[in-house]
Structure formats: structure tokens, C-alpha cells
Chain A
Amino acid sequence: MISAIKSIVQWNPTVPQKPGITERVHRALIILMMLGLVFSMVFPIIELLKRALQDQSGTYIGLDNFTTYFTSPSLFQSAYHTVTIAIITTIISVSAAFLFAYAIERTHMKGKTFFTYIGLLPLFAPTMMYGIALIYLLGNNGLLTTGFFGLTEQWFGWEEFDFELYGMKGIIISEVIFTFPQAFLILKVALSTADQRLYEAADTLGASTLRKLVTVTLPSIKYGLVSAFFVCFTLSFTDFGAPKVVGGQYNVLATDVYKQVIGQQNFSMGATVGIILTIPAIIAFIVDQTIQRKQSGGVNSRAVPYKTPKNKGRDRLYLLYCSAIAFSVLLLFGAIAAAAFVKVWPYDFSLTLRNFGFGSVAGDGLKPYWNSLIVSTLTATIGTAVIFIGAYLTEKSRHLKWVRKVSYFLSILPIALPGLVIGLAFIFFFNEQAFTIPFINMEIANPFKWLYGSLAILVLANIVHFYAVAFITANTSLKKQDDEFESVSEAMNVPFYKTFSRVTVPLSLPAILEMAMYLFVNSMTTISAVVFLYSPDWKLASIAIVNMDDAGDIAPAAAMSLLIIATNIIVRVVYELLSKKLMNRTNAWKQTQT
């Protein structure tokens, strides 16, 4: 962004070129892309900011909402709660994920593939699921809290105990499980590239194991650590699903936004809390951008790949640790499966499919699930196409440089926007009757109003919500391709769309598949953005889970969670098979490429 502004300020007019028809189309597409980003991101956010500065009747009141927020103890308390939860979650999650990733990347432990998949399993579930699973394990009638329904009391004399799940404990455990795979992925990548020469140098200088950890290992993954830290913090800070299910009376910012908007219809205060909710993500965003600039040249091409030394004792220790983690994760998923198939927990353990009928619950049946499938499929297909083309136009063009710089910034900005904030901003923007154009005081009817309450707005919200990560995936893949492909094509008078379809897309297929998979899985599990936007016609599976849980129908909620997980696992398996097939097909031209 800064460089974009700089390039505008230091404007050096160049001799213009008379564009041909394809150049005109190309430029029009770039402008269209920026307009799309502005209308679906910038304008809604502006509406949100405006709302935070108004009272409920719409008069401008400056920062009064913020003053009210920080002076009313009940509201301020949830800010305190949220920070507490985020800090504790981050510390536990990053440490646990570090050891787990270390075991996978730097030991000779057995079963690495299995543990990797187990470590990623929580990605496939909505956060409400962890809460529900915990209720079945540690709630009032939980498997563990009742001592296996009295069995341990009979056998060992261990009595029932109250875990006090609802509240801080429940939320933190859920958030740790939720953030664990994210931290694990980041740290796994960070630990996977190490320079053997540094360890050899340390050995030659007689450094101890601890000294090697502090002077070689940690410095080489410090960016990964910082990144994992911020990701965990932001995710647990903004999560809505887990606190909704196991939060009890323990209020956090995310549930506050929901209560203000849905419960009290106080949109201004909702917007205010939403802005506060965004602060850590914005800080993380800035830190991350700064770090990325510094990161270049960590491990260079001359680095020698790390060779893990043999150490049986270490391997056994890590195997024990990873097994414990895997056991906990599987226990959670097992609990959900059991809850979904059992007749009446904990009184009648006979198996049933009744919970999958969803008949008793507001009569929605399986419709929310089908809705979710439709929304996720549309998000995955439309989103992948739009985001990939957007990334292509931003990265592989020589036209309209500053437009592309602004677009790039807008494309990675959503990473700093919590889903709740996107949902709220969408309500404000798409539900507005008319907009006043600044300075000329003209009112125009909102041309996007028809989107409100439709399927389209759910898809759009999901695309915006997950834009940044998918964009970065596309961008990384495009950056690996020679910039001169476009120059050569232009020199040969080949229109850009031909090179795009014949070269760029085939070379990016793995990234495109990954984007589609990511968009689908996240659209299946997300609740935060869509919770404000769904209409009765388009209720989604994740929303149904929350509603059922609210109504006390926990078993059907578990069943619905299970459906989501199963769907996501199937999609992931299909993705893996497709990628493998793709790899085989493209092997001929990849062979010796370095």
C-alpha cells in the first residue's frame, strides 16, 4: 500500500502506448477486479466504520460508542476474557504444535504420515464440534466426568467430579484444538527447511544440544514461530463457534457482537465491538507484512538438507507424545460419532440413525446440509475462478501498475478481517436502502439490495472471508512462473487469454485444486460471517448446529457435525487423488525442473 501511494506521488508520466483490443480488454479486467474488491470489501467496511460512529437512530456521535464500551464493566469484562483466552490458547497451542511438528520433521519416529493426518483432522470440523464433543466427554453427563458412568467408582472408587466445562476451560480447550492444526502446519513448514551445515558447524564448535536449539533451530524458525503465534492468537480471539456452545456465562467479544446485533438489535454497538475484535488481526497483519519483507534469504540454494541424527530414546519419547495428542483428537471425534449414533446419552446406548433425521428440530431436516453443500460448491468453483484470475491480473500484467498494487493490498486484507466483522459489514452495506454520494449530496438506490437474504450473499461473504489465503496460494504459484512468459507472448502477438489458458492455468493446476479444496472445506465449517446473513430459505449446516445446540438438541447437532466432517474428509480424499493423478500426468514436463 505504501509503495502504491509512493508510486502515485512520484508520478513520472511515460509515453503512452496505443492499446490494441486485447490490451483494452486486459485493462478493463484489471479495473473490474479492483471495482469488485472495492464494492465487496471496502464499501462494506466503510459502512461498518460509519455505523460504529453513530447512535442507534443514526446520528453521528463520534467515539461515544467506544467510550460506552470501555466504561461499562459488563462489556469491558468480555474484552478482558477474550484476551485471557487468546493468550492461554496461544501458549498451549504453539508449544504443543511445536513439539508435534518437531517430532514429524526432526526425528525418526514411526507413523509420521498417520500423525500428520491426525494433526490436520481438526481442520475439517466446525469449532462448535469441539464444544459439543467436550460436553460429551467433560460435561455434566460426560464420559470422563461421570467416571465412565460410574464404572471407575465401582472399580477404583473414583467418584464423579464437576469439571466446570462451561466457561473459560471449555473455550480454551476448544480453541487449542481449533488452532492446533494451523500452528502445526506453519511450524512444520518452518522446521522442514534447515541447513545441515549450521548444525555441523555448531557440532564442530562443541555446542550442547540446548545451545544448538537456542542458537540454530529457534532462530531459523523464528518467523514461523511469530507467524504461528499471531495466527493462533487471532483465531482464538475472534472465534464464535466454541464460545457459543461451551461459553456459558463467560462472555467474549465474538459472542458480544452476536448478542448486540441479534439479541438487542443494537447495530452500532455491534459494529463498535466488531472493530475492537479486529485490532489484534490488524496488528498481526502489519507484523506479518513486515516480517515477510525481511524473510528473504533464510535458507539459500546452497544449503544442505538437514539429516536427523539417530537417537532411539528421543524417538520413543516423541512417539509417546504424539500418541497422546492423537489419542485426544481421536477421542473427541469418537465422542462426536458416539453422540450421533447413540439413542439417549447416557441412559440408552443402543445405536440409532434417528439423530440424522433432524426431524424434531424446527422441521428443517437435511435441508441445511444440502444448502451448505450448494454454498460450499459455489464458493469453491466461483471463488477459485475469481480469486485465481484476480491473482493473475495482479501479478502478471504490465498495465495499470498502481491499480494492481492497490488490488494486491485489498486482496490480502481479508486475512485481517474476522468473519463476524465481514458478516456485519455486509448487513450494513447490502441492506442499505440508498447511498448518499459524498460532496454532491445525491442519493442513489442501493443496486445490490437484491443480494440481501439470497444465496449469492452467502457465497460472496465466504469468498471475501477466505479470499486472502486462497489469493496467497495463487500468488505463490504464479510467482514461481517466469514473468517473461507474458512478455514473450506479447512479442508474438498472442493475446493474454490464450497464454492464460494454455500455460498459466495448466502450470497452476495444483494450486487451483488446493484453493478449491480450501474454499470448500472452510465454507462447510464456517459460521461467523454467515450467521448474520442467512435467510430462513438458506439456513446452513453450521447454523443448524448452533440452533439445535441452543434448543438443547445436542445429539442431532453432533450428527450434523459428523456429516460436515465426513463430507470434508471425502473432499480431501478426492483432492489428494486428483493431485496425484495430476502429478502423474504432468510428470513428463516436470522431471528435471529445478
Chain B
Amino acid sequence: MTERAHPKNKLGGVALSPLYSYYLNQKGASQSMEHLTVQDIHKQFGSYTALQNISFSIQQGEFVCLLGPSGCGKTTLLRIIAGLEQPNSGDITMNGKAITQLPPAKRKFGIVFQSYALFPNLTAFQNVAYGLKTKKTSRQEMKQKVYDTLKLVNLEHIADRYPSQLSGGQQQRVALARALALSPDFLLLDEPLSALDAKVRVQLRNEIKKLQKRLGITTIMVTHDQEEALSMADQMIVMNDAKMEQSGTPQQVYDQPKTPFVSDFIGTINFIDQHLGVATTNSIAIRPEHIKVATDKKENASPATIEHMEFRGSSYRLMVLPLHQFDQTNDQAFIQIDLSAEEVHQMGLQISNKIYMTFPEDKLTYFGTSHSGPKTEIS
């Protein structure tokens, strides 16, 4: 079967099962409580430091994304929260109770891995029922719960198929159903979407988010895809090199990046110190969409030539080389500018055209202490 977007009202049309009410009640009961706290986690693999001074806390019902490049330690952090790895020091508390020393089985979380880890010799039904059987529930109750959970992810019709007979997106949803079947306290997602096609990925992104909001289940998702994190997270934690760089809402992190790394990793950024005549590097930055472009000479505008134009459907990304270039060999010397297709056509911009850039002051981001440059040059 092919992936198909379900109309919004279909999810809403499903009768509330006991499972739903369970989540909704739980959500209502402890809305503002600090649900999960991670404090000073440190993890060492031999001489390699995987995590350093990691501390944050999550509210009940929040969707938190751990975002960072590969090897930054985000998956290790998730595994430590799950209890699958043990930290060298630090504490994890859950509803005020320390869980650092609890084995995974006692932490009451559901987990979905990048590979889904569906048992290939069991049907979708058996996969979802896998953890239920050990609990003291009647056969009928169990069956009902499995179907309810499969219904949550709109897969009740494929219950008897083996994972290899399902599409990637369906497998992903079975894995999600399996993680939810035990009504866990929180949900851990380890790059759950990265093995999927781009289209299915965007669709599932929305479905997961919608489901998470419906169930109100606290969720931590690891991803290296900034777009995924921006679109799904209530709170995001940006990590790099075993350390936390910044945490906050997606909007905060995008608009007010605290470090050059974050600004570069989340979206695209241009460091323009030298074009403003400042001696520092990487301390003044601007996003590509905030640079203003004109074809005629203006006061205080920096001239540049268009080296390359990338068509992106509704917009263009321009790679321009400033004429007052101090360091021609530096690749970073290119400035990236986003313009709507309409603007580009109006100005009739072509490769090797000369343009004039201005950098609106209210759109500039300053890093470090040395942002006392001659502001007069900024128009």
C-alpha cells in the first residue's frame, strides 16, 4: 500500500479508547510539573568524551528535540536517559524521583530506533503485542489494546503482515505503535525518520507531532535534521562536540543563536565582520534572507558580484563575492543571499552581475564580546 495523508478529521473521528483517556488524564493532572530532569551528565568512552556537563529539564507533555551533527553525543544522551548506557556521573530524575540507577525495564519509556528494530519473524500485531504479554492482562484485553494502538497510527488493516511486507513509513508507524502500546511515561525517538523518503518523512513528521499532542506524551527525539527539529519541537537542545550549545524554542534558537555554531547549524548564516570593517572573525552574522540587495549604487552599500545562482522554486539563493575582499582564498568569503524569484526577475539578476548589499542593523547577530565595531558603516 502506498503512503497516504489522512484527512484531519479522520484522526478526530476515531472514538476515544481507554488509551487516549489515559494520556489525556495524565496530561491534565501534572501539566506544569518538571517531568524529566537531566543533571550534569558526563560520559566517557575510553579516552573519548561523549558527553560533558549536560543539564536540562523537560515539562510534562513537551516535545523536545536533541539536535546536532553526527558524533555530537545526542544518541548517547538518549541511550543514557533510556538506561541502555550508564553515565560516568550525573543524575536523571523523573517526576522528582531519581532513576539513574534503574535498569531500562523499570523506567517506563517507549522507544523507536532509526532501524525500527521490528522483529522480522513476527507480524505487525505480534510486534505491538510483544511487551503486553508479560503483563497480567486477559487475552481479550490485550487484543483490544493492540488494535486500539494500531488504530492510533491508522494501521489496523495491516495487523497480520510481516514487517518486510510493509512500506518504510508503515514499519515506522508499527514501531511507534509498539512503543506506545505499554502506555509509557515518556517516548524516546532516535532519528525515527531518517531512513525514509523525503515525502514520507514530511508527512510522518506531521502525523507523529499530531499524535504526540493528542496523547500529551512527553517525547524526546534525536535528530540531525534541523528542519525536522524546527518543525516538530516545542523545545530544542542543540548539541555539538559532547556539549550543549543552546536550548530554547525553535524560534528563539533560530532568531537568537547564542554561538556561531548554532547559527551556522540551524539554517544558514553569513559572517560579515570583514565587510563591516571589523577586525574580528565570526562575531557578526546575518541570515541570507535578511540581506537587502539593489542593482544601483547606494551609500554604505557593499558592492559584490554574483558568482552563482541556485534556483529553488519560489526563491533563489545567490552566492556573491564581495568586491572588497580581504582574503580571496577563503571559501567562507562567499556571502549567501536568499531572494524571492519575483525580486530576482524584477531586478533581472544574472550570474556575474554587480549588486549592492546592505545589512539591516536590527537583523544582525553578535557573538562574543567584540561587537563594538564602527557601526556607522551599517546602513
Could you say which residues of chain A place their CB within 8 Å of the CB of B222? none
Is B163 interfacial (CB-CB < 8 Å)?
yes
Is B111 interfacial (CB-CB < 8 Å)?
yes
Q: Considering only CB atoms, which chain B residue lies closest to A594 in the complex?
A: B164
Q: A16–B101 contact, CB under 8 A? A: yes
Q: B90–A18 contact, CB under 8 A? A: no
Interface 9-mer from A134-142, A307-315, A501-509: A501-509
Is B277 interfacial (CB-CB < 8 Å)?
no
Q: B104–A490 contact, CB under 8 A? A: yes
Q: A17–B84 contact, CB under 8 A? A: no
Q: Considering only CB atoms, which chain A residue lies closest to B184 in the complex?
A: A491
Question: In the docked arrangement, what's the CA distance between A212 and B93, Å?
Answer: 63
Most chain B CB inside 10 Å of its own CB: which residue of A18, A589, A590: A589
Q: Considering only CB atoms, which chain A residue lies closest to B82 in the complex?
A: A491
Q: Considering only CB atoms, which chain B residue lies closest to A17 in the complex?
A: B103
Q: A488–B122 contact, CB under 8 A? A: no
Interface 9-mer from A5-13, A59-67, A89-97, A517-525: A5-13
Q: Contacts A493-B105, A502-B122 known; A7 to B130 CB distance under 8 Å?
A: no
Q: Mark B94-112, 1 if CB is under 8 A from A, else 0.
A: 0000001111111101110
Is A487 interfacial (CB-CB < 8 Å)?
yes
Is B336 interfacial (CB-CB < 8 Å)?
no
Task: Show 5 residue pairs from A and B whose CB-CB distance is below 8 angstroms, ordered by the A residue.
Answer: A15-B90, A398-B85, A488-B111, A490-B104, A502-B122
Which applies to chain B's interface (DSSP): helix, strand, loop or mixed?
A: loop
Is A265 interfacial (CB-CB < 8 Å)?
no
Is B329 interfacial (CB-CB < 8 Å)?
no
Q: Contacts A491-B111, A592-B164 known; A18 to B121 CB distance under 8 Å?
A: no
Q: Mark B261-275, 1 if CB is under 8 A from A, else 0.
A: 000000000000000
Could you say which residues of chain A place their CB within 8 Å of the CB of B113? 482, 484, 487-488
Question: In the docked arrangement, what's the CA distance between A6 and B46, Å?
Answer: 8
Q: Contacts A19-B103, A487-B82, A488-B178 known; A589 to B131 CB distance under 8 Å?
A: no
Could you say which residues of chain A place their CB within 8 Å of the CB of B182? 492-493
Q: Mark A1-41, 1 if CB is under 8 A from B, else 0.
A: 00000110010111111111011000000000000000000
Q: B46–A7 contact, CB under 8 A? A: yes
Q: Contacts A494-B130, A498-B134 known; A10 to B47 CB distance under 8 Å?
A: yes
* Cβ-defined partner of B105 (8 Å) among A15, A20, A398, A485: A20
Interface residues of B (CB under 8 A from A): 44, 46-47, 79, 82-90, 100-107, 109-111, 113, 115, 117, 119-122, 130-131, 134, 162-165, 178-179, 182
Question: In the docked arrangement, what's the CA distance between A32 and B358, Å?
Answer: 73
Could you say which residues of chain B place their CB within 8 Å of the CB of A593? 120, 164
Q: Contacts A15-B88, A488-B178, A589-B164 known; A493 to B117 CB distance under 8 Å?
A: no
Closest chain-B Cβ to A432's Cβ sits at a distance in Å of: 40
Question: In the docked arrangement, what's the CA distance between A10 and B82, Å?
Answer: 25
Q: Contacts A494-B130, A494-B134 known; A586 to B88 CB distance under 8 Å?
A: no
Could you say which residues of chain A place their CB within 8 Å of the CB of B178? 488, 492
Question: In the docked arrangement, what's the CA distance between A489 and B134, Å?
Answer: 11
Q: A23–B84 contact, CB under 8 A? A: no
Q: Mark A63-94, 1 if CB is under 8 A from B, else 0.
A: 00000000000000000000000000000000
Could you say which residues of chain A place their CB within 8 Å of the CB of B120? 507, 589-590, 593
Is A441 interfacial (CB-CB < 8 Å)?
no
Most chain B CB inside 10 Å of its own CB: which residue of A12, A20, A492, A507: A492
Could you say which residues of chain A place their CB within 8 Å of the CB of B110? 491-492
Question: In the docked arrangement, what's the CA distance between A586 and B162, Å?
Answer: 11
Could you say which residues of chain B place their CB within 8 Å of the CB of A484? 113, 115, 117
Q: Mark A577-594, 1 if CB is under 8 A from B, else 0.
A: 000000000101111110
Q: A14–B105 contact, CB under 8 A? A: no
Could you say which residues of chain A place their CB within 8 Å of the CB of B101? 15-18
Question: In the docked arrangement, what's the CA distance between A59 and B155, Å?
Answer: 76
Q: A491–B104 contact, CB under 8 A? A: yes
Q: B134–A589 contact, CB under 8 A? A: no
Q: Considering only CB atoms, which chain A residue lies closest to B83 in the complex?
A: A17
Q: B103–A16 contact, CB under 8 A? A: no
Q: A506–B121 contact, CB under 8 A? A: yes
Question: In the docked arrangement, what's the CA distance between A494 and B44, Å?
Answer: 29
Could you say which residues of chain A place their CB within 8 Å of the CB of B86? 14-17
Could you say which residues of chain A place their CB within 8 Å of the CB of B115? 482, 484
Could you say which residues of chain A place their CB within 8 Å of the CB of B47? 10
Could you say which residues of chain B place their CB within 8 Å of the CB of A12? 44, 46, 88
Q: B105–A491 contact, CB under 8 A? A: yes
Q: Mark A360-391, 1 if CB is under 8 A from B, else 0.
A: 00000000000000000000000000000000
Question: In the docked arrangement, what's the CA distance between A126 and B47, Å?
Answer: 51
Closest chain-A Cβ to B120's Cβ sits at a distance in Å of: 5
Q: Contacts A7-B46, A14-B87, A491-B104 known; A588 to B134 CB distance under 8 Å?
A: no
Question: In the docked arrangement, what's the CA distance between A206 and B319, Å?
Answer: 42
Q: B102–A17 contact, CB under 8 A? A: yes
Q: B104–A591 contact, CB under 8 A? A: no
Q: B84–A487 contact, CB under 8 A? A: yes
* Cβ-defined partner of A23 (8 Å) among B85, B103, B119: B103
Q: Considering only CB atoms, which chain B residue lies closest to A9 in the complex?
A: B46
Question: In the docked arrangement, what's the CA distance between A131 and B121, Å?
Answer: 48
Task: Please give me the 7 A-B residue pairs with the lowest Cβ-Cβ distance, nearest first.
Answer: A492-B131, A484-B117, A14-B86, A589-B162, A493-B105, A490-B104, A484-B113
Question: In the docked arrangement, what's the CA distance between A7 and B87, Å?
Answer: 16
Question: In the docked arrangement, what's the CA distance between A12 and B89, Å?
Answer: 10
Question: In the docked arrangement, what's the CA distance between A487 and B88, Å?
Answer: 20
Within A545-594, which residues are at the interface with B (CB < 8 Å)? 586, 588-593
Could you say which residues of chain B place their CB within 8 Å of the CB of A10? 46-47
Q: Considering only CB atoms, which chain B residue lies closest to A20 in the complex?
A: B103
Could you say which residues of chain B place their CB within 8 Å of the CB of A7? 46
Q: B103–A503 contact, CB under 8 A? A: no
Within A454-501, which residues are at the interface with B (CB < 8 Å)? 482, 484-485, 487-495, 498
Closest chain-B Cβ to A134's Cβ sits at a distance in Å of: 49
Could you say which residues of chain B place their CB within 8 Å of the CB of A507? 120-121
Q: Considering only CB atoms, which chain A residue lies closest to B166 in the complex?
A: A592
Not counting A495-B134, A502-B119, A507-B120, a sample of 11 additional A-B residue pairs whose C-beta atoms are within 8 angstroms of each other reads A10-B46, A14-B88, A15-B86, A15-B89, A15-B100, A398-B84, A487-B79, A487-B104, A487-B111, A487-B113, A591-B162
Question: In the docked arrangement, what's the CA distance between A20 and B102, Å?
Answer: 9
Q: Considering only CB atoms, which chain A residue lies closest to B79 in the complex?
A: A487
Closest chain-B Cβ to A79's Cβ sits at a distance in Å of: 43
Q: Contacts A18-B103, A23-B103, A502-B122 known; A493 to B88 CB distance under 8 Å?
A: no
Q: Contacts A17-B86, A485-B119 known; A493 to B164 CB distance under 8 Å?
A: no
Closest chain-B Cβ to A585's Cβ sits at a distance in Å of: 10
Question: In the docked arrangement, what's the CA distance between A495 and B47, Å?
Answer: 33
Could you say which residues of chain A place their CB within 8 Å of the CB of B162? 588-589, 591
Question: In the docked arrangement, what's the CA distance between A593 and B44, Å?
Answer: 36
Question: In the docked arrangement, what's the CA distance between A13 and B182, Å?
Answer: 33
Question: In the docked arrangement, what's the CA distance between A507 and B164, Å?
Answer: 14
Q: B109–A491 contact, CB under 8 A? A: yes
Q: A493–B87 contact, CB under 8 A? A: no
Could you say which residues of chain A place their CB within 8 Å of the CB of B105? 20, 22, 490-493
Q: Mark A188-206, 1 if CB is under 8 A from B, else 0.
A: 0000000000000000000
Question: In the docked arrangement, what's the CA distance between A485 and B86, Å?
Answer: 19
Q: Considering only CB atoms, which chain A residue lies closest to B108 in the complex?
A: A493
Question: In the docked arrangement, what's the CA distance between A590 and B130, Å?
Answer: 20
Q: A487–B121 contact, CB under 8 A? A: no
Q: B164–A590 contact, CB under 8 A? A: yes
* Cβ-defined partner of B117 (8 Å) among A488, A494, A498, A586: A488
Q: Considering only CB atoms, which chain B residue lies closest to A3 in the complex?
A: B46
Q: Considering only CB atoms, which chain A residue lies closest to B103 in the complex?
A: A17
Question: In the docked arrangement, what's the CA distance between A588 and B160, Å?
Answer: 11
Closest chain-A Cβ to B134's Cβ sits at a distance in Å of: 6
Could you say which residues of chain A place their CB within 8 Å of the CB of B117? 482, 484-485, 487-488
Could you say which residues of chain A place their CB within 8 Å of the CB of B90? 15
Q: Considering only CB atoms, which chain B residue lies closest to A483 in the complex?
A: B117
Q: A503–B121 contact, CB under 8 A? A: yes
Q: Contacts A15-B89, A18-B102 known; A591 to B119 CB distance under 8 Å?
A: no
